[in-house]
Structure formats: C-alpha cells, structure tokens
Chains A and B, each alone.
Chain A
C-alpha cells in the first residue's frame, strides 16, 4: 500500500485498462453518445463532468454494460463487451460501481451486503469474505455498524458502505456515478474523503461528479462532456485555468460562479 501511496501523483503506468473506440448509443431516436473515444490507463484518476443530460452517466454505465452501446467497441481489461453474458459477468467482477442512490440491499446487513458478491461470485469461503469485508469497512470508517441494516444508516454512511461493498470484489477499476449528489451537504465530505483515500492508494477511478474541488485535488485528467460527446479532456490545471472550448468555458462559469 505504501508503494501505491508513493505513486499518488504518478506517471500513468502506460498499461491500458479501458479502451472505447467510436462508441455510439441511442435511446430510440435520441443520440446519447456520439463517437466516444476514451483510453484509460491503470492507476489513472479521471473526473467526468458536464451539464445534466450530456451523457456522462450513460458513458460510464456502458463501461460495465449496465447500458448497452449500439456502435463501436469497448474493451475492459482485455475483454470486449458484447452480448456474450459470460464476458459481461467477467468484466463486472473487475469493475466496481458506486451509484448516486447507493443501492444497498435493504434486506441484508451491512456486512452481508459486503460479503454477498465475494461469496457467490468469487466463491470465497464465508470467513475469509467476512474478514476482508471488515477490513474494507474499517477503511471507510464504518466497521462498528457492520451488523446494522442499511435503513438504519445515514446517507453518507450508506454511500461509504456502498464503496466498501465494491472494494470487497477487489476491482481493477472503480466507477462512481455522481456519488455525492444525493447526499445532504454535511455528508458530502465524509464520502469524498474516502474517495480521496482510494485515489491516493492508486485505484483506477472514473468519477462522474460536480465536485470540482475533488477534481482539482486528485484527478489526473478531467473530461468534459456535452450533448453526448467528449468536448475536451485535459489535466485539471489547464482544464480549470485555460479551457480550450467555448462550451467548457460556459459550463465552468456556470458551476464555479454561483
């Protein structure tokens, strides 16, 4: 872990883990994703931003095929996402996802939420899965709630459990779909702190968020999307100080000067 921490401001490993080529998607007649070209390297931390309806959530949901793309190729960890169910399941094991509304399983305790997939998908023995779950729950600082049900926790606590649940699968990539948008303001920080910790440990992350502070402090790259296309991608420094496109400038002025 210390080695990973040293890589905090790392030079990307050069090893590609996600590659999207000419990805297009339509909802009926509506063209949501237009020719998405995206390459993500191991250890990269990417923040995706853009106005609502710009397709940013749809794009990251395509990466573990919660949404299906209709044209182009998406290759994750060497596996192309097609209709092949086995491949989809293989990719999903390696790609963790954190949702805006947490989506914890309300009929299972916090601990059971975390051990379910390792036991049934990774076929881990129960004791081992529980030990690992407790380790990750400690890491998101919620271990003392392990035997409670999600309904008994606050939003921030639930989102931290959701992060731990994903981590228990030891994913190679973590996708965050607006993880703080449904939280009360005072709970945003506790979730962001956990995410910053993950980023510092070298986790490959794609994060759809409006938290520009988070983007500035941990992202290697910021992607700006508008109307289904990637308009601009750059390091946070030049993205925020020197945006190239007019659309980016307009978006930044709207979210930064309110």
Chain B
C-alpha cells in the first residue's frame, strides 16, 4: 500500500548540501551569530593555552610511580606519581594492618561486584536483597575479623576507600527503604503517622549534616548511661542514614505526587490492598519518576561521607590528606587530591551514567 502511494507521489530528494554534514553543524552550533563566533574563538584560545601545560605536567614531565621524593623535589616541572606509588595502599586502605590489607581490598571488590550486578534489571528479584545482606555480612567479617582465623581489627584502624564505601553504600541501602516509608507516611491518611513523618523530615533537613555528625559523636555519649558506649563509626553511620533518609523521602514524595489520582482509583477499584497498591502500582512509577533527584542525593551523599574526617574517621579523602603529613612527602597535595578526586569522580560519574540508562530503559517501556 505504501509503495503505491509513493509511486504516484513526488520522489524523495536529498536536503540542500549546505544544511547537512560537518560544515553545516559548525555553522549551526558554533558560528550561528557574531557573538557566538567570538565566544567560540575565545573558548578555543583558552583551551589552547590551558591544556598543553596541564598535559605536560600530567604526563610529559611527570615522574613515574617509582620516583622518590628527592628526585621530584629537584625537578618539580611535572607531577610526582612516586607519591601515589608509595602511598597508594595507605590512601586506599588507611591504617589497616599492612599485611592484612587483602581484606579491605576484598571488601572493595565485594562492594563493586554487588553494585555492578544490581545494575542489571534482570536481577531485580527478591533474592537480590538476600545477596546484599550476605555481602554486608561478609564485609563485616572481613573488616572486623575475629572469626574464621582472621585477626581482629579494631574499626578505629579502618580507613580509605572501604570506609567511604561502607558509609555510603550501607548508609544508602538502609536509608532508601526508610525513605520510602517516610514518604508514604508523609502522604498517609493517618494523622499521627503523618505528623511523625513530617516532623522527622523537617527536623533533619533543617540541620547541617556536619552538626548531625558532631551531635552523634560528641553529644550522644553524654546522654548515654555510664559504661554504655556506641561505637564511633556506628554513630556516624546512623547519622548518615538519618540524614539521607530525610532527603530521599522528599525526592520520593515528589515522584508520588506525580502519579495521577486515576492510578490510585484503578488499583482501589480492583480490590488491591494498600500495600499491594503501593508496591505493584504506585511505587514502581513514582520511583522511576524520582530517579533524577534520587541519584542526585546518592551522588551528594557519596561525597558527603568525606565529612566524617571532622569526627576523626579517615575515609578516602581523609586518608589522602593524612598521607601528605608524612614529612618526606609534604607538599605533594596536587597529586594527592587529583588522585582521590579521580576515584570519587569515577564512582559518581558511573552512577550518573547508569541512572541515565535506567531512565531511558524505563521510559521506553512505560510512557507514550
């Protein structure tokens, strides 16, 4: 039928040559007005003057991973990657006993495996929750030790990337379901539940995270009876969970509010119970809508774990800073922060990329 229509209609023609191809793209995007043309030239000039020296410093004049600090100090025209070579294990694992550092390494591997595996929607089954619990348990065993012939390691010695991952991944994994309950509670018909959730969210959101961490580490022990003490790391972890839950609850509430009333009515009309309606109909749609603000929260909390340095815990950034306090390596802060920054960036950028992919996938199937 379509063949028929085309054979009697006008033939397709190619668009004019000056509207397609790279030249047209340049003209449309970079030189479409006189002020855009000026901006383009300026930006190119700026990049041209900034990039070559940076590349020189980063690679060409740089000293390799085996360079000593003495060599680097003599010729400081390039980066001194010897600093990373020597301090790598300290930055990654903190003060964890040197010969036992395969344990935090394995912890990192477990976390990354869990995170990567959970990205695949085919694995989104109830058993994935069990896998996560098993993952957390094995991390606890690896880090603490004391069983299976592993030497016990006090958690005051933990640090570096495993600490960052423990605080952020466990924190977000616990905070996420709590946030869902808070968001549902805030929209509940039951006044007591609603007031409780609103009060909690507004109270926590109105306080800076730093003050919450301080309270958890300094003030909380004052209120506990003599002899009872909660571990410092646990207190920081709880403070993170409380804070993240309040923020994510608001992101999820935004998603819930975007669901049309008709969806609730259709679910009610079919006789679904409250929890069936929420779990099967409302939340799958609301969470899909809330992906951008949720990932925003995830990313900012991953980075905010570096605030634990103020209560004396040495996460990735803290360990990087501590490595600089070695007298022989003092002053190589550019290398230290660049290295740590790149690690943070890899994690955050992966989260961002994955969330974009997830949004695309979910949109493709659901919406018109």
Is B285 interfacial (CB-CB < 8 Å)?
A: yes
Complex contacts, B280 vs chain A, CB 8 Å: 116, 120
Tell me the complex Cα distance, A116–B280, Å.
Answer: 8
Interface membership of A212, Cβ < 8 A: no
Interface stretch, picked from B113-121, B159-167, B242-250, B268-276, is B268-276
Instruction: Mark each residue of chain B from 288 to 300: 1 if its CB lies under 8 Å from any CB of chain A, else 0.
Output: 1000000000000
Q: Are A105 and B367 in contact (CB under 8 A)?
A: no
| B100, CB-defined interface residue at 8 Å | no
**B238 at interface, CB cutoff 8 A:** no
Please tell me if the beta carbons of B366 and A107 are within 8 angstroms of each other in the complex.
yes
What distance in Å separates the Cβ of B267 from its nearest Cβ neighbour in chain A? 8
B:329-368 near A, CB below 8 Å: 362, 365-368
Known: A105-B281, A107-B366, A151-B368. A66 touches B265 (CB 8 A): yes
A129-147 CB mask vs B (1 if < 8 Å, else 0) is: 0000000000000000000
Residues of B within 8 A of A121 (CB): 270-273, 276
Interchain CA distance A86-B176 in the complex, whole Å: 30
B361 nearest CB across to chain A (Å): 12
Q: Which of A5-27 contact B (CB under 8 A)?
A: none
A104 touches B270 (CB 8 A): no
B266 lies within 8 A of A105 (CB):
yes
- Please classify the interface of chain B as helix (H, G, I), strand (E, B), loop, or mixed, using the class held by over half of its residues: helix
Binary CB contact string for chain B from 26 to 45 against chain A (1 if under 8 A, 0 otherwise): 00000000000000000000
Contact, CB under 8 Å: B288 / A66? no
Q: Decide: B266 and A104 in contact? CB cutoff 8 A.
A: yes
Contact: A106 with B270, CB < 8 Å?
no
Q: Is A92 engaged at the interface, CB distance under 8 Å to the other chain?
A: yes
By a CB distance below 8 angstroms, the chain A residues around B271 are 89-90, 92-93, 117, 121, 169
Q: How far is the CB of B143 from chain A (nearest CB, A)?
A: 39
Find out whether the CB atom of A103 lies under 8 angstroms from the CB atom of B366. no
Q: A120-B276, A121-B276 are in contact. Are A92 and B368 (CB under 8 A)?
A: no
Q: What per-residue 1/0 map shows which CB atoms of A39-82 lie under 8 Å from chain B? A: 00000000000000000000000001010000000000000000
Which residues of A sit under 8 angstroms from B19, Cβ to Cβ? Answer: none
B263 CB-CB contact with A under 8 Å: yes
Bound form: Cα–Cα A89–B276 in Å: 12
Contact check: which of B263, B270, B366 meets A116 at CB < 8 Å?
B270
Determine if B126 is an interface residue (Cβ-Cβ < 8 Å): no
A151 pairs with B266, CB closer than 8 A: no
A216 contacts chain B at the CB level, 8 A cutoff: no
Residues of B within 8 A of A106 (CB): 285, 366-368
Q: What is the bound-complex CA distance between A120 and B272, given in angstroms?
A: 7
Contact (Cβ within 8 A) B270 A107: no
List of A residues within 8 angstroms of B260 by Cβ: 103
CA–CA, A166 and B271, complex, Å: 11
Interface size on A, residues (CB 8 A): 27
**Hey, what's the 0/1 contact readout for A152-170 against B, CB within 8 Å counting as 1?**
1000000000100110010
Query: Interface size on B (CB < 8 Å)?
Result: 23
From B262, B272, B288, B366, contact of A117 by CB (8 A): B272
The residues in A between 79 and 127 inclusive whose CB is less than 8 angstroms from any CB of B are 89-90, 92-93, 95-97, 99, 101, 103-107, 116-117, 120-121
Q: Specify which of A90, A103, A149 is in contact with B365 (CB 8 Å cutoff).
A: A149
When the two chains form their complex, are residues A169 and B266 in contact, meaning their CB atoms are under 8 A apart? no
Do A151 and B366 form a contact, CB below 8 Å, given A101-B262, A106-B285?
Answer: yes
Could you give, for residues 141-184 of chain B, a 1 whenever the CB lies within 8 Å of some chain A CB and a 0 otherwise? 00000000000000000000000000000000000000000000
* Residue numbers in A under 8 Å from B366 (CB-CB): 106-107, 149, 151
A105 touches B276 (CB 8 A): no
Residues of A within 8 A of B52 (CB): none
Instruction: Tell me the smallest distance from the CB of A167 to a CB of chain B, in Å.
Output: 11
Question: Can you list 24 A-B pairs with a CB-CB distance of less than 8 A?
Answer: A64-B268, A64-B269, A66-B268, A90-B271, A93-B271, A97-B265, A99-B266, A101-B262, A103-B263, A105-B263, A105-B267, A107-B285, A107-B365, A107-B366, A116-B272, A116-B280, A116-B281, A117-B271, A151-B366, A152-B368, A162-B266, A165-B270, A166-B269, A166-B270
Chain A proximity of B100: nearest CB distance (Å): 47
In the bound complex, how far is the Cα of B281 from the Cα of A104, in angstroms?
A: 10
The B-contacting residues of A in range 172-230, CB under 8 angstroms, are none
* A41: min CB distance to chain B, Å: 22
Q: Is the CB of B270 within 8 A of A117?
A: yes
With a cutoff of 8 Å between Cβ atoms, the chain A residues found around residue B97 in the complex are: none
Complex CA–CA separation, A117 to B272 (angstroms): 7
Closest Cβ of chain B: how far from A2's Cβ, in Å?
Answer: 29
